[in-house]
Amino acid sequence: DGGITQSPKYLFRKEGQNVTLSCEQNLNHDAMYWYRQDPGQGLRLIYYSQIVNDFQKGDIAEGYSVSREKKESFPLTVTSAQKNPTAFYLCASSITSVAAGELFFGEGSRLTVL
């Protein structure tokens, strides 16, 4: 079945540690996205990528980094510079078409900083 796989589903980390969240898709989509969701709040865009080896900052990129070396993969690193990293992280992908660009989401990764 095609879809987006995020891992791990739950992650605990100590302050000062970097952590990398995995996002893999087999939908053959060119565009991929990372969003952060805090309890009771909407989705805020961290980074997005429209093509391999290219990505753009979203509205809250500080303290995060990404890479897009393969079409299928768009990992997110939450660095120690991110002051409030505890959140629900959602990865999504879409085709690069204005007329049909629905986002397909993974099930998310819930990060807790202890």
Residues that bind other proteins (CB under 8 A): 31, 33, 35, 40-45, 48, 50, 56, 58-59, 90, 94, 96, 98-108
CB of 10 to other proteins, least distance (A): 13
- Residue 50, Ramachandran bin (φ over 0: left; ψ between -120 and 50: alpha; else beta): alpha
The alpha carbon dihedral of 10, 13, 15, 17 has a sign of negative
Cβ nearer to other proteins, comparing 100 with 114: 100
CB of 14 to other proteins, least distance (A): 26
Residue with tokens 């952590």: 19
Cβ nearer to other proteins, comparing 50 with 67: 50
Cβ nearer to other proteins, comparing 16 with 40: 40
d(Cα 96, Cα 92) in Å, to the nearest integer? 13
Cβ nearer to other proteins, comparing 80 with 103: 103
Contact 68, 56 (CB under 8 A): no
